[in-house]
């Protein structure tokens, strides 16, 4: 699926010290291919990856985070933009407000009408009236009646009337007399776009001037979803899109392409047949879902906020000269602490969430180390070699630690320095995340 493909696209730059022209180009190419394979139109995929490429090349290399994560962040931000940036609210002014539901047969209109009524009733304190305007199939009226019963919402239907426009006008009168403040009109659909269908919905639109015309589309129909959206929008100039069946094996391309093609916001996503599986569409969450890679954004943002690039550069120099000392170590601990709880922080790393459940990393384990360093004199911190056995005893007493603990920490620190000198050829980006552990 798209998530997995994008994840493998990022492998190119994971572990590399920094973003280079070369790895950007390779990654962008992979991302483009993954998008096209997920039914995103080629031109959209190309425009998208061109933007990502520009942003990646223009971005300052952050020393604190690895370039793979930076790239993910850029892609995620761009995906969010592509899908509309922020969520889009329903316009519900008027007494009653009128919402017209349109789309192909089987796209999920009737199911969505029920879910929307339930959402407006339970989340927005509205009093909705469902209208069965599918005049061709008696079963369609039955279906909506059952749903309305389940959620405890009133329904309006006329089984003998074959004039959809008249039914809708009567329904609005009924809504006014019963003090209903939202009318949701479930219309008939057809298997393919045709003139009869389009004219009927367009006539309803002309007669009642709805606040919202929501186009319902099955997200599993891939590239077709975009063509259908375009046809409906040309005729109805709808106000928003509802993506259904996101619980299925959808390739995700529809959500990406529709906003771009018709420039109308996706307002809801529906993922299941139960009445409470309707969600407001949040572009950022969808982008995260598509990337499926843990809460990378917040991780990167925390790192961006807290790491001082200058300081990191100084540190890098010291490490290269093998002059890393206890003062530096202490500063690193402080940086890590500023970024929040260590366990939470590591839990945000993709794939780490599960592993972290079984591992005990308490912030307390750093407190002991800090106490030891605090008991050293500035000269000792700057020259670890100074610290003789007698000094260790003094440090142990001062920090309230066991001499064995002090010895163990000194040994760990020596090992760490050895490792650093071995890794000296590597750039900082790769080393920093390991240092806190
Ligand atoms: P309509 O012809 O546009 O009114 O479509 P329906 O609401 O009757 O839905 C067609 C079929 O898709 C029904 O079997 C629904 O139960 C099913 N369906 C609708 N929405 C969803 C959804 O979000 N997820 C899943 N899995 N099935 C859905
Ligand atoms: Mg229906």
| CATH code of the domain containing 7 | 1.20.120.140
297 in a structural domain = no
Is 249 a known ligand-binding residue? no
Whether the pLDDT of residue 241 is over 90: the answer is: yes
Q: Are 77 and 101 within one domain?
A: no
CATH number at residue 394: 1.10.260.30
Whether the CB-CB separation of 135 and 164 falls below 8 Å is answered with yes
User: Largest Cα–Cα distance in the chain?
Assistant: 100
Q: Tell me, yes or no, if the pTM score tops 0.90.
A: no
What whole-number distance in Å separates Cα of residue 182 and Cα of residue 198?
24
Is 6 a known ligand-binding residue? no
Whether the CB-CB separation of 186 and 134 falls below 8 Å is answered with yes
296 in a structural domain = no
What whole-number distance in Å separates Cα of residue 133 and Cα of residue 190?
14
The mean predicted confidence, pLDDT, of the chain is 81
pLDDT score recorded for residue 164: 94
* Tens digits of residue pLDDT in 269-316: 998 889 988 889 888 877 877 776 545 455 555 555 555 555 667 777
Whether the pLDDT of residue 237 is over 90: the answer is: yes
What whole-number distance in Å separates Cα of residue 319 and Cα of residue 1?
42
Q: How far is CA 295 from CA 2, 280, 346, in A?
A: 17, 20, 11
Q: How far is CA 107 from CA 39, 117, 190, 243, in A?
A: 18, 17, 10, 9
Q: Are 160 and 195 within one domain?
A: yes
What whole-number distance in Å separates Cα of residue 201 and Cα of residue 216?
13
Q: How far is CA 188 from CA 99, 117, 197, 209, 219, in A?
A: 15, 18, 8, 18, 19
Whether the pLDDT of residue 421 is over 50: the answer is: yes
How far is ligand 1, taken at its centre, from the CA of residue 139, in Å? 14
Residue 13, helix vs strand vs coil: coil
Whether the CB-CB separation of 241 and 264 falls below 8 Å is answered with yes
Query: Which ligand 1 atom is at minimum distance from the Cα of 143?
Result: 8
Confidence grade of residue 116 (pLDDT, cut at 50, 70, 90): very high
Higher pLDDT, 185 or 227: 185
Residue 379, helix vs strand vs coil: helix
288 in a structural domain = no
How far is ligand 2, taken at its centre, from the CA of residue 424, in Å? 66
299 in a structural domain = no
Ranking 226-240, 302-316, 390-404 by mean pLDDT, the lowest is 302-316
Q: Are 241 and 372 within one domain?
A: no
Whether the CB-CB separation of 290 and 48 falls below 8 Å is answered with no
pLDDT score recorded for residue 329: 78
Nearest CA among 110, 275, 167 for reference residue 175: 167
Q: Are 366 and 431 within one domain?
A: yes
Q: Are 156 and 273 within one domain?
A: yes
251 in a structural domain = yes
State the helix-helix crossing angle for 2-10 and 283-291, rounded to 10 degrees.
70
Ligand nearest to the CA of 133: 2
Whether the pLDDT of residue 75 is over 70: the answer is: yes
Q: Are 61 and 123 within one domain?
A: no
pLDDT score recorded for residue 24: 77
What whole-number distance in Å separates Cα of residue 417 and Cα of residue 324?
7
163 in a structural domain = yes
The angle formed by the CA atoms of residues 37, 22 and 434, to the nearest 5 degrees, is 95
Confidence grade of residue 174 (pLDDT, cut at 50, 70, 90): very high
pLDDT score recorded for residue 298: 52
Q: Are 107 and 230 within one domain?
A: yes
Whether the pLDDT of residue 392 is over 90: the answer is: yes
Whether the CB-CB separation of 280 and 29 falls below 8 Å is answered with no
300 in a structural domain = no
Nearest CA to ligand 1 atom 6: 108
Ligand nearest to the CA of 141: 2
Ligand nearest to the CA of 249: 1
Strand-pairing partners, residue 128, are: 182
Q: How far is CA 182 from CA 135, 185, 274, 368, in A?
A: 21, 10, 21, 62
User: Burial of 249 by CB count in 10 Å (0-12 exposed, 13-18 middle, 19+ buried)?
Assistant: exposed
How far is ligand 1, taken at its centre, from the CA of residue 111, in Å? 6
Q: How many domains does the chain have?
A: 3
- Residue 225 parent element (H or E): helix 223-236
Query: Which ligand 1 atom is at minimum distance from the Cα of 248?
Result: 26
What whole-number distance in Å separates Cα of residue 222 and Cα of residue 136?
28
- Which residues, at least 6 apart from 390, have a Cβ–Cβ distance to it below 8 Å? none
Residues 141-175 as b/e (b if ≥16 CB within 10 A, e otherwise) read bebbeebbeebebebbbbeeeeebeebbeebbebb
Residue 85 zone, left/alpha/beta (φ > 0; ψ -120 to 50; rest): left
Ranking 172-186, 383-397, 405-419 by mean pLDDT, the lowest is 405-419
Is 221 a known ligand-binding residue? no
Q: Are 142 and 248 within one domain?
A: yes
27: containing domain: 2-86
Residue 135, helix vs strand vs coil: coil
Q: What percent of the chain has pLDDT over 90?
A: 37
Q: Are 271 and 342 within one domain?
A: no
Q: Are 78 and 159 within one domain?
A: no
Q: Which residues does ligand 1 sit against, CB inside 6 Å?
A: 103, 105-111, 189, 244-245, 247-248, 270-273
How far is ligand 2, taken at its centre, from the CA of residue 164, in Å? 14
How far is ligand 1, taken at its centre, from the CA of residue 112, in Å? 8
Query: Which ligand 1 atom is at minimum distance from the Cα of 104?
Result: 3
Confidence grade of residue 254 (pLDDT, cut at 50, 70, 90): confident
Nearest CA among 47, 45, 101 for reference residue 252: 45
pLDDT score recorded for residue 367: 75
Is 412 a known ligand-binding residue? no
Q: Are 27 and 167 within one domain?
A: no
How far is ligand 1, taken at its centre, from the CA of residue 25, in Å? 41
Q: Which of 58, 86, 114 finishes a domain?
A: 86
Over the Cα atoms of the chain, what is R_g? 30
Is 186 a known ligand-binding residue? yes
Query: Which ligand 1 atom is at minimum distance from the Cα of 111?
Result: 7
Query: Cα dihedral angle (231, 234, 238, 244), rounded to 10 degrees?
Result: 10
Ligand nearest to the CA of 114: 1
How far is ligand 2, taken at its centre, from the CA of residue 187, in Å? 7
Q: Are 352 and 391 within one domain?
A: yes
Return the half-sphere exposure (C-beta side, CA atoms, 13 A cut-off) of residue 216.
Answer: 29
171 in a structural domain = yes
Q: Please choose from 111, 189, 225 the residue to mutate so as to test ligand 1's pocket, defined by most ligand atoms within 8 A of CB.
A: 111
CATH number at residue 176: 3.40.50.300
Whether the CB-CB separation of 346 and 303 falls below 8 Å is answered with no
Phi then psi dihedrals of residue 143, to 5 deg:
-60, -45
Spatial strand order of the sheet with 154-156 comes to: 154-156, 128-133, 182-187, 97-102, 212-218, 240-244, 266-270, 278-280
Nearest CA to ligand 1 atom 16: 273
* Tens digits of residue pLDDT in 121-172: 999 999 999 999 998 888 999 999 999 999 999 999 999 998 999 999 999 9
């Amino acid at each position: 699926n798209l998530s997995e493909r994008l994840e493998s696209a990022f492998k190119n730059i994971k572990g590399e010290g920094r973003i280079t022209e070369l790895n950007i180009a390779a990654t962008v190419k992979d991302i483009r291919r993954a998008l096209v394979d997920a039914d995103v139109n080629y031109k959209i995929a190309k425009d998208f990856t061109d933007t990502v490429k520009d942003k990646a090349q223009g971005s300052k290399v952050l020393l604190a985070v690895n370039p793979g994560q930076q790239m993910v962040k850029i892609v995620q931000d761009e995906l969010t933009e592509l899908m509309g940036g922020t969520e889009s609210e329903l316009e519900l002014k008027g007494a009653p407000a009128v919402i017209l539901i349109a789309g192909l047969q089987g796209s999920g209109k009737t199911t969505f009408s029920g879910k929307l009524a339930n959402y407006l009733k339970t989340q927005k304190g509205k009093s909705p009236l469902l209208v069965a305007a599918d005049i061709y199939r008696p079963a369609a009226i039955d279906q909506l009646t059952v749903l309305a019963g389940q959620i405890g919402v009133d329904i309006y239907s006329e089984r003998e009337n074959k004039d959809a426009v008249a039914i809708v006008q009567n329904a609005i009168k009924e809504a006014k007399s019963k003090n209903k403040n939202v009318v949701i009109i479930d219309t008939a659909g057809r298997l393919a776009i045709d003139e009869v269908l389009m004219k009927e919905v367009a006539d309803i639109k002309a007669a009642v001037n709805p606040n919202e015309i929501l186009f319902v589309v099955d997200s599993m129909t891939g590239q077709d979803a975009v063509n259908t959206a375009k046809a409906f929008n040309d005729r109805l100039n709808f106000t928003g899109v509802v993506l259904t069946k996101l619980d299925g094996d959808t390739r995700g391309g529809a959500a990406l392409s529709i906003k771009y093609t018709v420039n109308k916001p996706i307002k809801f996503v529906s993922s299941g047949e139960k009445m409470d599986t309707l969600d407001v569409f949040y572009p950022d969450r969808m982008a995260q879902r598509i990337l499926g890679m843990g809460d990378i954004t917040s991780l990167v943002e925390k790192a961006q906020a807290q790491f001082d690039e200058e300081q990191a550069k100084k540190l890098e120099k010291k490490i290269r000269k093998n002059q890393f000392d206890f003062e530096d170590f202490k500063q690193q601990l402080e940086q890590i602490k500023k970024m929040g709880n260590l366990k939470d922080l590591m839990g945000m790393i993709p794939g780490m969430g599960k592993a972290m459940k079984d591992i005990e990393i308490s912030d307390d384990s750093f407190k002991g180390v800090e106490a030891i360093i605090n008991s050293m004199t500035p000269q000792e911190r700057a020259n670890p070699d100074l610290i003789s056995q007698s000094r260790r005893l003094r440090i142990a007493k001062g920090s309230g630690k066991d001499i064995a603990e002090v010895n163990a920490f000194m040994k760990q620190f020596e090992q760490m320095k050895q490792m650093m000198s071995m890794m000296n050829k590597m750039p900082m980006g790769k080393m920093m995340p390991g240092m806190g552990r």
